C-alpha cells in the first residue's frame, strides 16, 4: 500500500511513517519505512523544560548508525519536535520529505469511544481532551504532541493509536468495578486497560509462532516492563486485562504497587495524615519493586539476590507471586490456554522471572525448558519443552512498529 506523490517529474512513494510517543517531559520518536518495515531513525528528547534537556538521535538508514547527542535547554514540546525534525533533516529525512506519509501518535487513553486508530481531526482532538479527567497524567502530553506535529505539518495525516483500544472488547462483567453504577457511570469509572498496542502485537505474533491464526488460539500475554500488565486474549480478542481505570491496577511493577485493598488509601489519609497527591505519588512512584527493595531494575535485583540480599529476594518473590496469581486467574477465565507469552524489558530478558513464574504450574500444563529459557535471542521463541501441553514463549514487543503499521493501514484505506 503506497501513496504516490508527484515530485517534479518523478514520483516518490510516500512510505515513511513518523511515530511519536509524547510523555509529560519527553518525546520518543521513530521513523519507519513501511515498504520493508525498517527503521530509518530513532530518537529521544528527555527532560523537556529543564536546563539539561537531552536529545539522542540515531540514524539507522546508513551503515554507520552513530548516535548524535545534544544537551541544553529545550523549552517545550514544540521545541523538542523541532529539534527532532532538524536531526531528521540532517539525514535527509526532514518533516518536509515527500516520502513522509503520516505521523502516528501513541495516545494513552481513548476511553470507550476509540476502539480503533483514527485519523485526527478537530472532533477527535476534542474527544481526547474530554478524556483528560480519566487520564490526567498521560493524555495532556499526547495532545501537546499532536498539536505541535499538526502545526509543523498541517497538510499531513496524523493518526491516533490508543493504548486502550485493544481492551475495548472486554465483556462488561470484566470491565465494570463492583461499585454503585450511577457513580461509576457519572465519572466514567471502569476498567480500561493499557499497553493495548503491545498486547495486540504480541498476541498476534504468538499465534504466528504457533503456526496458527489469532482466531484459533487463546493466549495469556505478560507485558513486564517498568510498567507491567497481563491480558487474556481469546481468539484474537482481549477478554481481560490487569490494568484498570489507570495503569496502577494489577501486577507489581517497577514503581507501582499494582493491586492493593483500596482501604489502604483511606487509612493513609486518616491515620498517616497523607494528602491525596502524596498517596498518588506513593502508589505510582514509590511502590512496586522500588518501594519493596529500593531498586526497580530487575538486573540489579537479581545481582543483589546473588549476593544474599534478603530485601531484594522478598521483592522478587512478591513480584513473581502476583504474576502466578494472574496466570492462574487468566487460565480460569480462558478455560483453554494455548500459550503464555512473556514480553517487554523484564519479560524478554529475565530468565529467572520466567522460570519462577511458571515453576509449579505443571498441573496447568505449563513448564519451562531450562536451556531454551537461558538462551538469549531477539526473536520470538518457545521456551517450553516439546511435550508441554501449553506453549510458553518469549515474544519481543514492538509498539512503535505496531503504531506505524496501524497508521499506514489507516491512511492507505483513506487514500484508496
Question: Which residues in this chain contact ligand AMP in the complex, by CB under 6 A?
Answer: 225-226, 254, 296-299, 344-346, 349-350
Where are any strands of DSSP class E within 358-405?
381-382, 391-394
What minimum distance in Å lies between the beta carbon of 152 and ligand AMP?
Answer: 28
Of the candidates 163, 295, 338, 398, the residue annotated as catalytic is 163
Q: Which is nearer to ligand AMP, 87 or 295 (CB)?
A: 295
- What's phi and psi for 281, nearest 5 deg? -65, -40
Q: Which is nearer to ligand AMP, 88 or 346 (CB)?
A: 346
Q: Which is nearer to ligand AMP, 227 or 244 (CB)?
A: 227
Nearest alpha-carbon partner for 367 in 350, 385, 347, 349: 385
Which helix (H) or strand (E) element contains residue 284? helix 276-285
What minimum distance in Å lies between the beta carbon of 226 and ligand AMP?
Answer: 4
8 Å CB contact between 183 and 389: no
Nearest alpha-carbon partner for 217 in 327, 323, 341, 115: 341
Residue identified by cell 514487543 is 397
Determine whether 309 is an active site residue: no
What minimum distance in Å lies between the beta carbon of 306 and ligand AMP?
Answer: 13
| C-alpha cell at position 406 | 496501524
What minimum distance in Å lies between the beta carbon of 134 and ligand AMP?
Answer: 23
Length of the chain in residues, anyone? 416
What minimum distance in Å lies between the beta carbon of 302 and ligand AMP?
Answer: 7
**Secondary-structure percent of the chain, ordered helix, strand, coil, rounded to 5:** 40, 20, 40
Q: Which is nearer to ligand AMP, 284 or 349 (CB)?
A: 349
Q: Which is nearer to ligand AMP, 198 or 331 (CB)?
A: 198
CB-nearest residue to ligand AMP? 345
Nearest alpha-carbon partner for 395 in 338, 347, 336: 347
Catalytic residues: 163
Amino acid at each position: 500500500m503506497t501513496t504516490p506523490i508527484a515530485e517534479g517529474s518523478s514520483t516518490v512513494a510516500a512510505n515513511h511513517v513518523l511515530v511519536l510517543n509524547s510523555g509529560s517531559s519527553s518525546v520518543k520518536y521513530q521513523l519507519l519505512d513501511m515498504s520493508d518495515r525498517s527503521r530509518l531513525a530513532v530518537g529521544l528528547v528527555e527532560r523537556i523544560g529543564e536546563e539539561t534537556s537531552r536529545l539522542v538521535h540515531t540514524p539507522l538508514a546508513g551503515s554507520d548508525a552513530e548516535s548524535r547527542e545534544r544537551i541544553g535547554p529545550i523549552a517545550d514540546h514544540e521545541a523538542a519536535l523541532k529539534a527532532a525534525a532538524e536531526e531528521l533533516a540532517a539525514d535527509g529525512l526532514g518533516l518536509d520529505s515527500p516520502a513522509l506519509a503520516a505521523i502516528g501518535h501513541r495516545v494513552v487513553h481513548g476511553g470507550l469511544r476509540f476502539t480503533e486508530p483514527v485519523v485526527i481531526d478537530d472532533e477527535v482532538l476534542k474527544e481526547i481532551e474530554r478524556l483528560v479527567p480519566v487520564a490526567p497524567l498521560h493524555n495532556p502530553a499526547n495532545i501537546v504532541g499532536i498539536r505541535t506535529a499538526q502545526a509543523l505539518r498541517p497538510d499531513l495525516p496524523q493518526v491516533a493509536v490508543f493504548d486502550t483500544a485493544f481492551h475495548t472488547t472486554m465483556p462488561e462483567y470484566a470491565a465494570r468495578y463492583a461499585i454503585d453504577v450511577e457513580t461509576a457511570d457519572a465519572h466514567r469509572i471502569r476498567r480500561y486497560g493499557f499497553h493495548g498496542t503491545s498486547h495486540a502485537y504480541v498476541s498476534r505474533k504468538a499465534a504466528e509462532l504457533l503456526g496458527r491464526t489469532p482466531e484459533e488460539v487463546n493466549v495469556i500475554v505478560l507485558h513486564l516492563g517498568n510498567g507491567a500488565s497481563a491480558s487474556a486474549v481469546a481468539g484474537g480478542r482481549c477478554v481481560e486485562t490487569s490494568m484498570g481505570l489507570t495503569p496502577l491496577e494489577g501486577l507489581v511493577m517497577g514503581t507501582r504497587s499494582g493491586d492493593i485493598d483500596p482501604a489502604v488509601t483511606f487509612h493513609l489519609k486518616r491515620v498517616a495524615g497523607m494528602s491525596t497527591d502524596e498517596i498518588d505519588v506513593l502508589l505510582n512512584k514509590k511502590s512496586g519493586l522500588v518501594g519493596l527493595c529500593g531498586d526497580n531494575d530487575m538486573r540489579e535485583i537479581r545481582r543483589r539476590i546473588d549476593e544474599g540480599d534478603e530485601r531484594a529476594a522478598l521483592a522478587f518473590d512478591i513480584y513473581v507471586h502476583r504474576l502466578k496469581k494472574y496466570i492462574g486467574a487468566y487460565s480460569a477465565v480462558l478455560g483453554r490456554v494455548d500459550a503464555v507469552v512473556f514480553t517487554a524489558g523484564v519479560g524478554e530478558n529475565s530468565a529467572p522471572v520466567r522460570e519462577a513464574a511458571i515453576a509449579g504450574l505443571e498441573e496447568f500444563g505449563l513448564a519451562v525448558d531450562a536451556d531454551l529459557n537461558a538462551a538469549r535471542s531477539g526473536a520470538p521463541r518457545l521456551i517450553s519443552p516439546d511435550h508441554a501441553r501449553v506453549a510458553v514463549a518469549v515474544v519481543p514487543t514492538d509498539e512503535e512498529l505496531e503504531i506505524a503499521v496501524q497508521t499506514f493501514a489507516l491512511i492507505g484505506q483513506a487514500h484508496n
